Structure 1
């Protein structure tokens, strides 16, 4: 049985571009880097950037990484938009929280998640 998440692997086409996005745009702390594998700290969770092999073709689908915004969700969405991040939909509101979907520079699905407002 699983006792938690050890890391999340994200396939990337361009390691430098992906590192720039996760480090500079999202503000995650870089732990290690190489052309094939890089790691970032997302509040105690390791996000591993895994270089695609030259023969692999990018495909949609796969895991989605949800990030907790540092502050108000609406303000964080605007801050990311100001950095050039394109959101793939509007903020969705549910009984269990709010989601704002976007993609990284490599086409992977990401989202900001905020618990319900009290």
Structure 2
């Protein structure tokens, strides 16, 4: 029935600022940018990844819905992106001005560091262990 996950939504306060972060600092590509039923529909993804990240602003919604969406700003922690070398990715991203909660840590499932986007949402940068079942 289900074939794949195609998109995940992240609420951002400023789409241009978020776009600059995800594109220029993380190296994501713009995979969609057009008007939608609630304003600009903007998607980005790492190169070659078919799952898009929708950078959605509350601005295009009615006041009640916008208020509900605004409560999500900075509270999203569900994105985990795999990398070949977490420590190297951490250093590269820090040099580009990406903020992290701390230095990379060894976990049972691999090495990870938690980056923060322009709204304070978490992005886990993870190097899985070869035998990980996660």
TM-score category (smaller protein): 0.7 to 0.9
| Structure 1 residue aligned with 2:23 | 23
| Structure 2 residue aligned with 1:7 | 7
| Structure 1 residue aligned with 2:55 | 49
Q: For 1:114 and 1:11, how far apart are their aligned partners in 2?
A: 26
Q: Which has the higher helix share?
A: 2
Please tell me whether Structure 1 or Structure 2 has the larger radius of gyration of its CA atoms.
2
Q: In the alignment, is residue 91 of structure 1 matched against residue 107 of structure 2? A: no
Question: Which runs of 5 or more residues in structure 2 are unaligned?
Answer: none
Q: Please identify, of 25-34 and 7-16, the stretch whose mean Cα deviation from structure 2 is larger.
A: 25-34
Q: For 1:92 and 1:2, how far apart are their aligned partners in 2?
A: 34
Q: In the alignment, is residue 116 of structure 1 matched against residue 122 of structure 2? A: no
TM-score, structure 1 length as denominator?
0.83
| Structure 2 residue aligned with 1:40 | 44
Give the secondary structure class of the aligned counterpart of 1:16. helix
Question: Which runs of 5 or more residues in structure 1 are unaligned?
Answer: none
Paired positions, count? 117
Given that 2:10 and 2:76 are in contact with CA atoms closer than 8 Å, whether structure 1 keeps it comes out as: no
Q: For 2:121 and 2:2, how far apart are their aligned partners in 1?
A: 24
Alignment root-mean-square deviation, CA: 2.3
1:14, distance to aligned residue in structure 2 (A): 0.6
